[in-house]
Amino acid sequence: GDVAVLVPAAGAGVRLGPGRPKALRLLGGEPLLVHAVRRLAAAASVHTVVVAAPAADLVAVRELLAPVAPVTVVAGGVQRQASVAAALAAVPAGPEIVLVHDAARALTPPGLVESVAAAVRSGHDAVIPVLPVVDTIKEIGVGERVLGTVDRSALRAVQTPQGFRRGVLTTAHAAATDPLTDDAGLVEKLGVPVVCVPGSEHALKITRPFDLALAEHLLAMGR
């Protein structure tokens, strides 16, 4: 494998409701992070996995993941971007392709990991998996008044894993000023082209209780 995967897993999961940090919440009796790392490790290209965990749970996360795959676990930061930066700093010399993958996308198929990695390997500096936007999207102003309807055909919903040539991601993080919620956004600011590959509905981000219920169903169906 020529790929390192950074797994931001240090978020609280506020939108999921009260409880453990989201990466440690259970899905089919196992933490979301375990599901995510197991699927990453099943992708043949993946050589190294670095997890950014909640600082208070570092030891517990190491013990949790030891039987799943060989991983490095570091403390995450207050914002997702800081968690990714901490994980990036822990990648050993070697892998020249770096993927960033949300622990919250627990059921992401290994095939999507491979397709993102393959697109970087084929020469793209930055690659993101996307899906078409299905709902009509409106821009609203003061008082929830509609200002207009956005042309949906030009929009995409963005998932992870996002893939980068290592030097590009390192430069993007070093240059970052305002924290963003995705890594491709930092690369865009450098003026580096970012290309899209087809995403997967199974790579949904478990964000709200409905998503967790959907994921439970998908898992029971064999995912």
Rule CB under 6 A: which residues touch ligand CTP?
Answer: 8-15, 22-23, 52, 76-80, 83, 102-104, 205, 207
The entry of ligand CTP, Mg ion, none that residue 8 binds, CB within 5 to 8 Å by partner kind: ligand CTP
Our CB check for ligand CTP shows the closer of 57 and 102 to be: 102
Q: What angle do CA 95, 201, 208 make, to 5 degrees?
A: 100
The nearest distance, CB 14 to Mg ion, in angstroms, is 7
Positive/negative CA dihedral, 169, 173, 174, 176: positive
The nearest distance, CB 122 to ligand CTP, in angstroms, is 27
CA distance 121 to 129: 15
The nearest distance, CB 75 to ligand CTP, in angstroms, is 10
CA distance 87 to 145: 42
Q: β-strand 126-132 against 162-165: which pairing, if any?
A: antiparallel
**Residues β-bridged to residue 158:** 130
Q: β-strand 138-140 against 46-53: which pairing, if any?
A: unpaired
Our CB check for ligand CTP shows the closer of 97 and 104 to be: 104
Using CB under 5 A as the criterion, what x/- string covers residues 6-25 for binding Mg ion? -----x--------------
Our CB check for ligand CTP shows the closer of 80 and 173 to be: 80
Our CB check for Mg ion shows the closer of 165 and 173 to be: 173
Number of residues in contact with Mg ion, rule: CB under 5 A? 1
The entry of Mg ion, ligand CTP, none that residue 23 binds, CB within 5 to 8 Å by partner kind: ligand CTP
Our CB check for Mg ion shows the closer of 9 and 192 to be: 9
The nearest distance, CB 210 to Mg ion, in angstroms, is 16
Q: 209: cis peptide before it, omega within 30°?
A: no
Q: Where are the alpha helices (DSSP H) in 80-208?
A: 80-89, 110-121, 166-175, 183-189
Note whether 76 and 33 are within 8 A (CB).
no
Interacting residue ranges for Mg ion, rule: CB under 5 A: 11
